Amino acid sequence: MIFPNKKTPIWIILSIDSILLILSILLSYYIRFEFIFNQIKIEILEKYFHQTIIYLFLKAIFFVFFKVYQGIIRHTSIQDVKKIFYAIFLVTVSGFTVNMLLFLFGKPYFLPFSILIIDFLISIFLILGFRFMIKIFYIEIYQKSSDKKEKENIIIYGAGVSGLITKRTIDKDINSNFKIVGFIDDSIKLKNTRLQGVKIYHSRELKTLIKKHNIKTIIIAIQNPDYENKNNIIEICVSNSIKILTVPSSKKWINGDFSTSQIKNINIEDLLGRNPIYLNPEKINNEVSGKIILVTGAAGSIGSGIVKQLANYNPLKTILLDQAESPLYELEQELTQSFQNFNFEIVIGDVSNQIRMEKLFDHFNPKLVFHAAAYKHVPLMEDNPSEAVYTNILGTKNLVDLSIKFKIEKFVLISTDKAVNPTNVMGASKRIAEIYAQSSTNETTKFITARFGNVLGSNGSVIPLFKRQIEQGGPITITDKRVTRFFMTIPEACQLVLEAGAMGNGGEIFVFDMGKPIKIEDLAKKMIQLSGLEEGKDIEIKITGLRPGEKLYEELLSKEENTIPTHHPKILKAKVRNNDSNLKIDIQTLIKLFDSQNNIEIVKLMKKIVPEYISNNSEYVMLDK
């Protein structure tokens, strides 16, 4: 049959279309002969019999060429209508063209012009009429019968193109359990209008609609939302236990098509995201385009994010350095698929290995370095200070020294908010790396530091941990109810790194606007609610106590620093104190202490280099006394 859920076989559609096209040409003659067939008119019909057969065959060719038969009849769309129109129009134009050529050579017409015109109109009417008749029948009989089943009332947030496509997709899916009772939109101009028969409300009316229609689910269908408005909607939904679904970006639609299976639960990253940032692409392009670039820690969250951002600015070649073999392989596969014109090379190596790094610099001769390789986990480095020194400090020193030797143009060090008034070994090691890089700026090589907080979705982020704990049924573990953290998305952080690198003149520490700090406990509760669970009933939150070296609150500037605004509203320049010229000697001594593996002596010297380093909840607190 033509209207059930299964797609009608192509041969049936072709057969019906063929019958309709034959009927169309016969009706054309009948109308042209003024609804009367006499002997003379029958002779005329016989005269054009063979031409008529050829013309029908030509129609079939055009229908096959435009794949008119491929559309699902019960879901006939504007695209299907266009295909039908083009096929019939072009075959009619072909008939006209043949007639004109025959006329120029004094030959009889292929077919009368009147027949061609009448046939064009009747063909359009019959072919489209048949399809829309089936579509109407399907909607009236099958879809309305399915509507009698108990369905869940939902609201679509966004009455634009994406919202319209979402509605059509849900309507077409006979297995969908959704009944759309309205749209909400931020535009006051759309209030009380209708979109395909469904009323549009202003987003401020959401609370009323939830109560009036017993709404249990809302679908966010805006491709580029204002995050403040979106977050207000989400807050209302979370507080009313409304399930939140979201429509993916059109770039993620499968082969350009969108289906209800792609409507997913909203991610906490979407909730914590902010309005998109605006960069100076011309400045970044001038800095990056046509150059060989080295990215260390390229397989990590930030490193890989920087690599993907660089792919948009046509570098001559990008060297992807990391010691993590499997993540590098996965990144290679992703880049090959997503950025086909991106010239890159994978290098496996350890930044702490000076011989390996010198060989790399000598072979590739990069002009820009983005140094993201580092150990970042606070508790692990608290237990292994020598490794923090070896990788975070020696690794940075190796790259800084080689950058000077090989006359690198710019070196961008990726740092962390934990380097500010550090309370742990990891933060102190990153601060020492900052000091070494800052003090190395010269006329040839500019050293720039980019400092920011936690990154959403990164390997070390608390969010993946919470997700795993929720999937396992809990409990969700947090260290302290008072703990707050800054958060930024990976793309946002990496874009700002490129912008800071382009604007830097050497010796600066650029601090990113991280927005408002977020309580980790609130984050955990929101993730529980977005998962459709109830805290204390379905899953519990467990307090485990601060880990060694962990802070309650992160900072982006130390007490002796203040900020200077830059041309970019989300990038500030830290005005930092001058470093003691003897610090480089102390750093050399610190690196040599690696061989002793004496953690106490290592941390003691770190505290001398970074006087503001005061340990917290750590065995090294005794060194502060």
Tokens of 397: 């020193």
pLDDT of residue 490: 78
Give yes or no for residue 406 having a pLDDT over 90.
yes
Provide mean pLDDT across the span 426-436: 94
pLDDT of residue 147: 53
Specify whether domain 154-266 bears CATH 3.30.420.130. Answer: no
pLDDT of residue 291: 94
Segment 569-585, tens digit of pLDDT: 777 777 666 666 678 88
Q: 88 with 66: CB under 8 angstroms?
A: no
What DSSP designation does 204 have?
A: G
* Residue 94 CB partners (closer than 8 Å, separation 6+): 58
Provide mean pLDDT across the span 318-341: 93
Give the residue with greater pLDDT, 575 vs 403.
Answer: 403
Share of the chain above pLDDT 70, in %: 82
pLDDT of residue 357: 97
- 617 alpha carbon, distance to own chain's centre: 39
In one-letter notation, the amino acid at residue 167 is K
Share of the chain above pLDDT 90, in %: 26
pLDDT of residue 170: 80
Provide mean pLDDT across the span 408-431: 92
Segment 519-559, tens digit of pLDDT: 888 888 888 877 777 788 888 899 888 877 777 776 665 55
Instruction: State how far the alpha carbon of 300 is from the alpha carbons of 221, 326, 375, 395, in Å.
Output: 31, 11, 11, 16
Provide mean pLDDT across the span 501-528: 80
What DSSP designation does 312 have?
A: G
Identify the band that residue 256 occupies on the pLDDT scale cut at 50, 70 and 90.
very low
Is the torsion defined by CA of 370, 373, 374, 375 positive or negative? positive
Which residues are paired to 371 by β-bridges? 296, 413
Segment 15-59, tens digit of pLDDT: 777 787 888 888 887 787 776 665 665 666 666 677 778 877 888
DSSP three-state, residue 558: coil
Q: 451 with 591: CB under 8 angstroms?
A: no
Q: 488 with 517: CB under 8 angstroms?
A: no
Q: 119 with 28: CB under 8 angstroms?
A: yes
pLDDT of residue 143: 55
Identify the band that residue 140 occupies on the pLDDT scale cut at 50, 70 and 90.
low
**By CB neighbour count within 10 A (0-12 exposed, 13-18 middle, 19+ buried), where does 168 fall?**
middle
Helical ranges in 219-300 per DSSP H: 227-239, 268-272, 281-288
Question: Using CA atoms, how far apart are residues 186 and 226, in angstroms rounded to an integer?
Answer: 9
Provide mean pLDDT across the span 66-73: 64
Give the residue with greater pLDDT, 55 vs 275.
Answer: 55
In one-letter notation, the amino acid at residue 455 is V
Identify the band that residue 255 occupies on the pLDDT scale cut at 50, 70 and 90.
very low
The reply to whether 154-266 and 281-624 are identical in fold is yes
In this predicted structure, which of 49-53, 284-288, 360-364, 422-426 has the lowest mean pLDDT? 49-53
Question: Using CA atoms, how far apart are residues 85 and 124, in angstroms rounded to an integer?
Answer: 7
Three-class secondary structure assignment of 90-145: HHHHHHHHHHHHHHHCCCCCCCCHHHHHHHHHHHHHHHHHHHHHHHHHHHHHHHHH
- 250 alpha carbon, distance to own chain's centre: 10
Give yes or no for residue 332 having a pLDDT over 80.
yes
- 183 alpha carbon, distance to own chain's centre: 24
SS3 content of the chain, % helix, strand, coil (to 5): 50, 15, 35
pLDDT of residue 556: 61
Segment 372-400, tens digit of pLDDT: 999 988 899 999 999 999 999 999 999 99
The domain limits of the chain are 10-145, 154-266, 281-624
Provide mean pLDDT across the span 9-20: 75
Give the residue with greater pLDDT, 482 vs 248.
Answer: 482
Identify the band that residue 237 occupies on the pLDDT scale cut at 50, 70 and 90.
confident
Give yes or no for residue 620 having a pLDDT over 70.
yes
With residue 379 as reference, give the H or E element that holds it: helix 378-383
**Residues designated catalytic:** 418
The CATH classification number of 281-624 equals 3.40.50.720
Give yes or no for residue 254 having a pLDDT over 50.
no
pLDDT of residue 434: 92
Question: Using CA atoms, how far apart are residues 436 and 424, in angstroms rounded to an integer?
Answer: 19
Q: 608 with 427: CB under 8 angstroms?
A: no
In one-letter notation, the amino acid at residue 203 is S
377: closest CA among 256, 495, 459?
A: 459
Provide mean pLDDT across the span 492-520: 81
Question: Using CA atoms, how far apart are residues 386 and 593, in angstroms rounded to an integer?
Answer: 8
With residue 570 as reference, give the H or E element that holds it: none
pLDDT of residue 575: 64
Q: What is the mean pLDDT of the chain?
A: 81
Mean pLDDT highest for which of 172-181, 447-456, 597-606?
A: 597-606
b/e map 410-427, b = 16+ CB within 10 Å: bbbbbbbbbbbbbbbbbb
Give yes or no for residue 3 having a pLDDT over 50.
no
Give yes or no for residue 274 having a pLDDT over 80.
no
pLDDT of residue 178: 82
Q: 368 with 409: CB under 8 angstroms?
A: yes
pLDDT of residue 574: 73
DSSP three-state, residue 40: helix
Q: 59 with 13: CB under 8 angstroms?
A: no
Provide mean pLDDT across the span 264-269: 70
Give yes or no for residue 591 having a pLDDT over 90.
yes
In one-letter notation, the amino acid at residue 98 is V
Mean pLDDT highest for which of 238-242, 316-320, 582-586?
A: 316-320
pLDDT of residue 163: 83
529: closest CA among 241, 231, 264, 267?
A: 241
